[in-house]
Amino acid sequence: MTKPIYILNGPNLNLLGTREPEIYGAMTLDDIAAACAAHAGKLNQTVEFRQSNHEGVLIDWLHEANLKASAVIFNPGAYTHTSVALHDAVRAIEPPVIEVHLSQTAARETFRHHSFVASAARGSITGLGLASYLLGIDAALHCLHH
């Protein structure tokens, strides 16, 4: 059986649906997880969907993904803009990593314009809400087959 795609989510994403819905929309993280599982299922792929508010846990999951995942869809949340450690963890693993964000980070506060993860990831998809995740799955599968 094919290894799952890990979909990893960083801090505060557990608050989706109630946190700034004008920016992040009304979907909960559980809604996004269900949509990702359904989309991946249509492509004969499984996902392992996780969220943590802790940087070290995200790093551990990236290390685990190196052995157990075919690819990684990664929304590092605010750590995107602060974490060299996550950058290094993404660079250190073999599976392709696609960075995703619900909002268009480049159109937000200046401190959100730089991503430490982007230069280590295979690609980035931002600003498309749920579609960022679904296109991330498509992009990961494209990377695996090309």
Just list the catalytic residues: 24, 101
Q: Point out the annotated binding site.
A: 75, 81, 88, 102-103, 112
Beta-bridge mates of residue 57: none
Contact between 87 and 119 under an 8 Å Cβ cutoff? The reply is yes
Is the distance from CB of 17 to CB of 28 less than 8 angstroms? yes
129: which residues sit within 8 A by CB, 6+ positions away?
25, 27, 102
DSSP-based three-state secondary structure for 43? coil
> Across the strands, what pairs with 51?
9
Binding-site residue positions for substrate: 75, 81, 88, 102-103, 112
**Which segments within 12-113 are labelled E, that is strand?**
47-51, 71-75, 97-101
